[in-house]
């Protein structure tokens, strides 16, 4: 246990000190990895722990992103606009979408969550006051007391803090009684019902928590880039998060961050050597699904000999 | 609007619907039989278009492309099923769905590496290169060909499924694969066959779409969603549902853009969601087990 | 004495097939009732209707005076009815302790806690250990279900149902597929269940039935054919014909 804490502290330190040693581009890459890592970890709560494979998680990423963009632009660039309001909006969206989606499972759950996120895509794509195809641009970063988020180094700590906080929150949730119930539901939903659990309520709560965190990721993304487009809602965005979770390791939480890292590094680094990063990504993903269902984390654990 | 405009729109919807049908019929039968939502099915559409492009470039003959493209894509589909999907049959169906998602990237990039990312056009065959006058308006005769061809294919498929022994086996397999296998039929061969045939039909749809739509690598991912909507609305596993669904969605897309340009896209997804929630078996699908 | 469980004309059709045809039954508190009958007689369907997995086409289920007909399974469980399944229905990737703990914690207290710790929910843990002891799995608490033998899994199957502290325990062929020793162990286990727990058990093994049951109900083609003490049922010619007929009995 002490080694794990030490390891995490080291990684955290490395992440925080990264801007001192690296140029702007790698630092931005790391920030993108951290933000997507939050998104992927939130999906892992749903997929890896509750066993709900959603193809519409981008809905909440997008809601967080768009609400942040609107709020920061029109209601003042502060923490409430940039984080609180988007998180609440994402939570509400997750409550509504989750309420309906929970009623179905398996393939139908995939189709329904997909349909919902595509609805958001369609609306933001076609509606003029949301920027239509071009989305919303020129979004300022929140003004926090005593802190200037427009400086890369400062924004870096800000993003890293959120990634850390999300990891900790999810880590606690997964180990909590609630987390254990989710695992029971994943393993045998019917028996959980038969012994008396109101399974739908737990699933909905998991959905809302995951959606809220995805919304936070979306809000951070808007702040990172300074804009948001309908593509945030696209099913391919959901798919990318799915890829990250699986490559990193479903049901490991940390896998979300690792998977995001693998994906984004592949996309950026590999694409500077060869144009075929998509092919490599697809093949990697296929190989992982076929031969390494535990993802990167599973592979590492196997090497060190720890139980999954 | 003039009558000719209205008719043109309806015919556009019909030609789009027919393309959707050829693509979605494979998707729905694959789901019905193997319980896999083949997310890479849109890729078969794209591969068909490019196979067609290659054949036309090599031989100048569009009709040859109509034969070669489905054949090529069918082979790719068969290979994909045998090599990659079959080992996963013992795993939960969700694993297989995720796997097919990875193939979207693979197929798109392979095509991009061979043909580049720019839009390539395929010329329609000379005999259909012109247009026909309908109620005073000009309508591309190629699209009429597409409509006719598609409807003929629908009839052919219907005959095969409903009137042949092979079709009976397929229907039995869609209804209950385990039981069909227990009746002494090599169900794995049937799986491969259905997957390959579905892929081939998708490829056929792609090559036919070429002169209308032009070919570009993301076209597969783009058409996947409409195809999924058709399958959901029509009913997973139903040929009739696939036909009715695609014709409906075809008209909905076209008229939606005309009458409700701001929310037409969202409405279609709303319908998809409503169907999944209220009548998951769609219009003609088998009632859920 | 008011019945703990009252089944009133339960009927269930599957298409044209009547799986249950007006089954009526009164189960007294603390009673041990066995349901026997040939395969396809509707025994498991009956359980499914009682526990809410299936809705009846007609009829009512009354538990402790309350109408629970058509309630979803988790609500039925919350009323105090627990069930074990004919085909082992456990949490495959979890340990024996966790299987039992989850069942014991199903009353919901503390289960929504997002940041707490499972170790602090002492009541379910204690109950889980207690039940593990009762079903003979005290040595296997840390083992995953996959590591257990078939017989041990069946013991856990009953344990999970017991862990919820039910008033009524429905057991669906608990000794299915067991060897003679395993069956004996299960019989002792079941005999040791406290009398406050009313038991309704589906069984094919007549030795188990006769050693546990106060009364026996014979189900045939979805109807209760005979309902009486073990001796009465044993000697009833109708039962002999329909079910025990052609076999050596005892």
pLDDT above 70: residue A49: yes
- For the segment A26-54, the average pLDDT, to the nearest whole number, is 94
CB contact under 8 A, A176 and C118: yes
- For the segment A251-279, the average pLDDT, to the nearest whole number, is 87
CB contact under 8 A, A197 and C73: no
pLDDT-above-70 percentage for chain A: 98
Handedness of CA A164, A168, A169, A173 (dihedral sign): positive
CB contact under 8 A, C94 and A183: yes
In angstroms, the CA B206 to CA B44 distance is: 7
SS (H, E, C) chain C: CCCCEEEEEEEEEECCEEEEEEEEEEECCCCEEEEECCCCCCHHHHHHHHCCCCCCCEEEEEECCEECCCCCHHHHHHHCEEEECCCCCCCCCCEHHHHHHHHHHHHCCCCCCCCCCHHHCHHHHHHHHHHHHHCCCHHHCCCEHHHCCHHHHHHHHHHHHHHCCCCEEEEECCCCCCCHHHHHHHHHHHHCCCCCCEEEEECCCHHHHHHHCCEEEEEECCEEEEEECHHHHHHCHHHHHHHHCCCCCC
Pick among B91, B104, B105, B281 to test the A interface (most A CBs inside 10 A): B105
CB contact under 8 A, A188 and C89: yes
Alpha carbon distances (Å) from A236 to A178, B104, B272, C249: 30, 10, 18, 66
Tens digits of per-residue pLDDT, A74-119? 998 888 889 999 999 999 999 999 999 999 988 889 999 999 999 9
pLDDT above 70: residue A128: yes
Q: For residue A179, what is the nearest residue in chain C, using CA coordinates?
A: C114
pLDDT of res. A304: 59
Tens digits of per-residue pLDDT, A189-219? 999 999 999 999 999 999 999 999 999 999 9
Q: For residue C109, what is the nearest residue in chain A, using CA coordinates?
A: A177
CB contact under 8 A, A275 and B84: no
CA–CA min distance A150, chain B (Å): 35
Pick among C53, C76, C98, C102 to test the A interface (most A CBs inside 10 A): C102
CA–CA min distance B44, chain A (Å): 16
Across chain B, which has 289 residues, the per-10-residue mean pLDDT values are: 80 93 93 86 95 90 92 95 83 82 93 88 83 79 90 92 86 79 82 92 94 88 91 89 93 86 85 90 75
- For the segment A231-248, the average pLDDT, to the nearest whole number, is 93
SS (H, E, C) chain A: CHHHHHHHHHHHHHHHHHHHHCCHHHHHHHHHHHHHHHHHHHHHHHHHHCCCCCCCCHHHHHHHHHHHHHHHHHCCCCHHHHHHHHHHHHHHHHHHHHHHHCCCCCHHHHHHHHHHHHHHHHHHHHCHHHCHHHCECCCCCCCECCECCCCHHHHHHHHHHHHHHHHHHHHHHHHCHHHHHHHHHHHCHHHHHHCCCCHHHHHHHHHHHHHHHHHHHHHHHHHHHCCECHHHHCHHHHHHHHHHHHHHCCCCCHHHHHHHHHHHHHHHHHHHHCCCHHHHHHHHHHHHHHHCCCHHHHHHHHHHCCCC
- For the segment A249-273, the average pLDDT, to the nearest whole number, is 88
CB contact under 8 A, B105 and A282: yes
CB contact under 8 A, A283 and B270: no
Taking contacts as CB-CB distances below 8 angstroms, the residues of chain C near A205 are 112
SS (H, E, C) chain B: CCHHHHHHHHHHHHHHHHHHHHHHHHHHHHHHHHCCCCCCHHHHHHHHHHHHHHHHHHHCCHHHHHHHHHHHHHHHHHHHHHHHHHHHCCCCHHHHHHHHHHHHHHHHHHHHHHHCCCCECCCCCHHHCCEEEECCEEEEHHHHHHHHHHHHHHHHHHHHHHHCHHHHHHHHHHHCHHHHHHCCCCHHHHHHHHHHHHHHHHHHHHHHHHHHHCECCCHHHHHHHHHHHHHHHHCCCCHHHHHHHHHHHHHHHHHHHHHCCCCHHHHHHHHHHHHHHHCCCCCCCCCCC
Counting as contact any 3 or more CB pairs under 8 A, the partners of B are: A
Regions of chain C where pLDDT drops below 70: 1, 243-250
CB contact under 8 A, A198 and C108: yes
pTM: 0.91
Does C114 touch chain A if contact means CB atoms closer than 8 Å? yes
CB contact under 8 A, B113 and A276: yes
Pick among A177, A201, A307 to test the C interface (most C CBs inside 10 A): A177
Mean per-residue pLDDT of chain A: 91
Tens digits of per-residue pLDDT, B76-132? 999 999 888 888 877 877 788 888 999 999 999 999 999 988 888 888 888 888 888
pLDDT of res. B288: 61
């Amino acid at each position: 246990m002490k080694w794990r804490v030490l390891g995490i502290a080291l990684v955290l330190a490395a992440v925080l000190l990264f801007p001192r040693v690296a140029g702007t581009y790698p630092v931005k890459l790391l920030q993108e990895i951290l933000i997507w890592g939050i998104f992927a970890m939130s999906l892992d709560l749903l997929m890896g722990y509750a066993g709900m494979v959603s193809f519409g998680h981008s809905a909440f990423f997008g809601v967080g992103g768009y609400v942040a963009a609107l709020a920061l632009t029109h209601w003042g660039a502060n923490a409430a606009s940039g984080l609180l309001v988007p998180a609440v909006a994402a939570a509400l969206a997750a409550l509504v979408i989750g309420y309906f989606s929970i009623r179905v499972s398996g393939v139908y759950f995939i189709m329904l969550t997909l349909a919902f996120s595509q609805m958001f895509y369609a609306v933001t794509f076609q509606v003029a006051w949301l920027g239509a195809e071009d989305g919303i641009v020129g979004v300022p970063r929140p003004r926090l007391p005593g802190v200037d988020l427009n400086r890369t180094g400062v924004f870096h700590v800000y993003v890293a803090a959120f990634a850390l906080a999300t990891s900790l929150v999810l880590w606690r949730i997964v180990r909590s009684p609630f987390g254990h119930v989710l695992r029971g539901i994943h393993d045998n939903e019917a028996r959980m019902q038969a012994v008396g659990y109101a399974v739908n309520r737990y699933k909905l709560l998991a959905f809302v928590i995951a959606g809220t965190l995805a919304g936070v990721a979306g809000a951070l993304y808007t702040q990172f880039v300074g804009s948001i487009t309908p593509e945030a809602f696209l099913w391919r965005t959901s798919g990318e998060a799915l890829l990250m979770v699986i490559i990193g390791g479903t049901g490991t939480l940390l896998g979300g961050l690792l998977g995001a890292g693998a994906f984004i590094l592949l996309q950026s680094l590999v694409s500077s050597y060869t144009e075929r990063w998509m092919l490599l990504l697809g093949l990697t993903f296929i190989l992982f699904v076929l031969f390494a269902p535990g993802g990167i984390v599973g592979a590492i654990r196997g090497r060190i000999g720890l139980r999954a | 609007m003039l009558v000719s405009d209205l008719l043109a729109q309806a015919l556009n919807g019909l030609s789009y619907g027919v393309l959707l049908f050829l693509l979605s019929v494979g998707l729905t039968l694959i789901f019905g039989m193997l319980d896999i939502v083949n997310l890479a099915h849109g890729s078969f559409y794209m591969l068909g278009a490019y196979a067609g492009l290659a054949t036309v470039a090599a031989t100048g003959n569009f009709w040859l492309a109509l034969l070669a493209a489905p054949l090529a894509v069918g082979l790719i589909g068969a290979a994909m099923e045998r090599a990659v999907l079959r080992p996963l049959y013992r795993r939960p169906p969700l694993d297989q769905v995720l796997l097919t998602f990875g193939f979207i990237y693979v197929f798109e990039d392979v095509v991009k590496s061979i043909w580049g990312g720019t839009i390539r056009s395929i010329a329609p065959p000379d005999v259909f290169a012109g247009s026909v006058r309908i109620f005073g308006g000009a309508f591309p005769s190629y699209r009429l060909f597409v409509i006719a061809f598609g409807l003929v294919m629908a009839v052919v498929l219907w005959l095969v499924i409903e009137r042949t022994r092979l079709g009976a086996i397929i229907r039995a397999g869609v209804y209950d694969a385990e039981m069909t296998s227990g009746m002494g039929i090599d169900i794995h061969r049937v799986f491969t066959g259905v997957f390959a045939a579905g892929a081939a039909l998708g490829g056929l749809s792609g090559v036919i779409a070429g002169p209308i739509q032009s070919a570009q690598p993301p076209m597969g991912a783009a058409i996947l969603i409409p195809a999924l909507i058709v399958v959901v609305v029509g009913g997973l596993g139903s040929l009739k549902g696939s036909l009715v669904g695609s014709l409906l969605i075809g008209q909905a897309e076209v008229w939606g853009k005309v009458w409700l340009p701001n929310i037409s896209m969202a409405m279609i997804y709303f319908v998809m969601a409503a169907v999944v929630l209220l009548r998951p078996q769609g219009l003609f699908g088998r009632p859920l087990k | 004495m008011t019945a703990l469980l009252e089944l009133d004309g339960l009927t269930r059709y599957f298409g044209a097939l009547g799986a249950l045809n007006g089954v009526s039954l009164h189960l007294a508190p603390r009673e041990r009732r066995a349901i026997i009958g040939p395969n396809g007689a509707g025994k498991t369907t009956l359980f499914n209707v009682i526990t809410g997995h299936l809705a009846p086409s007609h009829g009512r289920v009354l538990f402790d005076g309350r109408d629970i007909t058509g309630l979803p399974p988790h609500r039925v469980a919350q009323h105090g009815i627990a069930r074990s399944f004919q085909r082992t229905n456990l949490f495959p990737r979890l340990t024996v302790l966790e299987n039992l703990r989850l069942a014991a914690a199903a009353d919901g207290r503390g289960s929504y806690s997002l940041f707490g710790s499972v170790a602090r929910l002492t009541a379910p843990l204690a109950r889980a250990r207690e039940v593990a002891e009762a079903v003979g799995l005290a040595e296997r608490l840390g083992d995953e279900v996959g590591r257990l033998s078939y017989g041990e899994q069946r013991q856990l199957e009953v344990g999970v149902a017991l862990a919820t502290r039910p008033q009524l325990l429905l057991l669906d062929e608990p000794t299915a597929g067991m060897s003679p020793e395993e069956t004996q162990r299960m019989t002792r286990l079941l005999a040791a269940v406290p009398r406050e727990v009313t038991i309704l058990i589906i069984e094919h093994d007549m030795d188990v039935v006769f050693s546990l049951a106060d009364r026996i109900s014979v189900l045939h083609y979805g109807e209760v054919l005979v309902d009486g003490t073990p001796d009465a049922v044993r000697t009833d010619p109708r039962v002999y014909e329909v079910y025990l007929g052609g076999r050596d009995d005892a």
